[in-house]
Structure 1
């Protein structure tokens, strides 16, 4: 079904379906189709809202869940970009048709929610759920090819990723969206000198504390950065002491400011586990979940094929090609270097039970992966999309096509 701004407003009618029955029906309707439904009448609007709250035991499975957004961009023509989204509440893939946009450079993502484009002369960022709005600002003072980028409050932090022989590899700059000025900050800790790039670091932002957290993927060594004082704190060791060798790790914040640590155990991916980290001491608090073995085997098989391709194309093995996006209590684990394969999802319980629900879905955004492998790159992020976001997108001429029901 196509959802556009043209079919939002429907004629007022006397509706014979009310209350729990109507709400139960809406529980099974894709989120994009609930936008026009919410315009039918006030009773329908209230029923739509109730079906998305997830407040009771009966409705919890049907609450809104963060979408996974996948942008596929041509490496030859950066303006040629397609957008797909997976809605885990509705179990559907959606293709999003957007108005033409001028891409200044390759599209990139950071800490699950932020998209940006960086060139020697300009810098653009977008952080709203469907990336409808872009902020175009002056390029940072130092040119960077693979930096870490974070949005902390009204400040944009860009660190590392410099041309090693020309600039300080640990340089940190911060842009204030209110004052429209760049500032130099304390450099990254010297221990990160050999890994000061987004390829080797995982970052997370605590919006309530206005802090950025950085962890070295291969070691689990972490630091925090406070933009209000422009300084770093640490180091902290996030590696759990009771587990085997962790070959690669990632961090992200779930609901209630819980810092989640994802560890890939063993060089051949013996297991993938999730831990909760204490937000104050940055010490591992407890293990909260382990990926089922059948999903590990699925991920392992795909990863080995991908690593083999990396060996052919780049002549050297890359760090683990597995990546993670996290928002609220929902974790996506996927391959960062390909558009195909499976996407593993984990729904973390928001209470103290520690329950995790693991599932997987096939990535169907591109049918012929081999054909496009060398001419396209993918950028993945995670967003909490609500009816207001969809309503705004539709009013700005975006179109949503339910591509495939899973």
Structure 2
């Protein structure tokens, strides 16, 4: 044929080809012609794309002095590019917030607010039973048929004047959006109390259990979301581990952390965790050249690794350095859903200009076509 006629492909084949594009490319493709717009706007196409696309990596950079210098970036792993997002006025007004599984949360001693990722509209819940900040927050569904998620808030700190109240045991609270009601549940075990905030703890939702891990203490316990009880506290520390993060990836519970075995050069390791026995088995080691890119290799300071952070979702694990004087070096590990093999690569640099910041919020989330429109 002298000219290519895209109509001869048929709608089914055109839909399949378009579904393999990155989300941002799909949005642009909807402007090409009327037939493509009809395909991309269909509910069946949106469902197919949502099931196939990899989660995005979000970072919110906060400046405590000049809030207008706050920045939001999102990394699309399929196009391998950062997208600089607009910072809405509603986001600038939020002092403390975090993200989890498709939502952003603002939690202060006075109120609890949430919004879907990429939305500008915040919703406020009824007040928490226990005022707090710097909590662990999870999003889950009661069952597969449930369309309205529930939120779980664990730990955090309460201030007595200007001092943190270390003796206060904050109850676990679960939010039911249908009734705008917070259910009080047993508090986080006392073993975690000395470091009760999200600065010292991480969490992972896996098979209707909310796991909590001490990043440096290696204490671990889970809260059963169905039976509403905490398991006994155990220690999950592979030999030589300096700190670690717990991640929930599809059908796997993963421990990711920095390890220094018998005086050798530190390495970043992934372990698979058996959620029933908490036994661990080594899966993957980050290539040395990638780890070297994440910190100042010329520094001899013992704490040069202390600013390494880790988040993950779906089949992706991101490891990054959140020091304010760095240009946010980061890498990603993509894990095969079938073989478990890992593919590591470095992320490109952030789009310039990059403002100075004092705090960073990072998380992974699925993104749909409707969110981008």
Place the TM-score, normalised by the shorter chain, in its bin.
0.7 to 0.9
Shift of 1:300: 3.6
Pairing 1:183-332 to 2, within 5 Å after superposition: 183-206=183-206, 209-240=207-238, 244-256=239-251, 258-266=252-260, 270-284=266-280, 286-301=281-296, 320-332=306-318
Question: Deviation digits for residues 217-255 of structure 1, max 9, x if unmatched?
Answer: 113221101244432113233333xxx410010011111
Q: 2:135 — aligned with what?
A: 147
Shift of 1:334: 0.8
Please, what TM-score do these two structures have when normalized by structure 1? 0.73
Tell me the SS of whatever aligns to 1:101.
helix
* Preserved contact between residue 250 and residue 315 of structure 2 (Cα < 8 Å): yes
- d(CA) in 2 for partners of 1:104, 1:303: 39
**Is 1:162 paired with 2:142?**
no
Does 23-32 or 274-283 show the bigger shift? 23-32
- d(CA) in 2 for partners of 1:263, 1:303: 22
Q: 1:34 — aligned with what?
A: 26
**Is 1:346 paired with 2:341?**
no
CA RMSD of aligned residues (A): 3.6
- d(CA) in 2 for partners of 1:25, 1:178: 39
* Preserved contact between residue 101 and residue 139 of structure 2 (Cα < 8 Å): no
Q: 2:98 — aligned with what?
A: 109
Question: Deviation digits for residues 14-73 of structure 1, max 9, x if unmatched?
Answer: 7457379968985885421212424635567769969x8699xxxxxxx63221112223
Does 143-152 or 102-111 show the bigger shift? 102-111
* Preserved contact between residue 96 and residue 108 of structure 2 (Cα < 8 Å): no
* Preserved contact between residue 157 and residue 165 of structure 2 (Cα < 8 Å): no
Question: Deviation digits for residues 247-270 of structure 1, max 9, x if unmatched?
Answer: 0100111113x1111021139971
* Distance change >3 Å, CA 366–CA 269, structure 1 → 2: farther
- d(CA) in 2 for partners of 1:27, 1:166: 52
* Preserved contact between residue 191 and residue 233 of structure 2 (Cα < 8 Å): no
- d(CA) in 1 for partners of 2:114, 2:265: 34
Tell me the SS of whatever aligns to 1:35.
helix
1:84 to 60, 73, 85: 73
* Preserved contact between residue 81 and residue 348 of structure 2 (Cα < 8 Å): no
* Preserved contact between residue 159 and residue 172 of structure 1 (Cα < 8 Å): yes
* Preserved contact between residue 159 and residue 171 of structure 1 (Cα < 8 Å): yes
**Is 1:385 paired with 2:367?**
yes
- d(CA) in 1 for partners of 2:278, 2:323: 30
* Preserved contact between residue 273 and residue 287 of structure 1 (Cα < 8 Å): yes
**How many residues are paired up?**
348
Question: Deviation digits for residues 150-200 of structure 1, max 9, x if unmatched?
Answer: 233313323132337646443124133222223432121121121211111
Tell me the SS of whatever aligns to 1:234.
coil
Unaligned runs of 5+ in 1: 1-13, 56-62, 309-316, 395-406
* Distance change >3 Å, CA 113–CA 322, structure 1 → 2: farther
Tell me the SS of whatever aligns to 1:140.
coil
* Preserved contact between residue 160 and residue 169 of structure 1 (Cα < 8 Å): no
* Distance change >3 Å, CA 298–CA 102, structure 1 → 2: closer
Q: 2:171 — aligned with what?
A: 172
* Preserved contact between residue 348 and residue 357 of structure 1 (Cα < 8 Å): yes
Does 263-272 or 288-297 show the bigger shift? 263-272
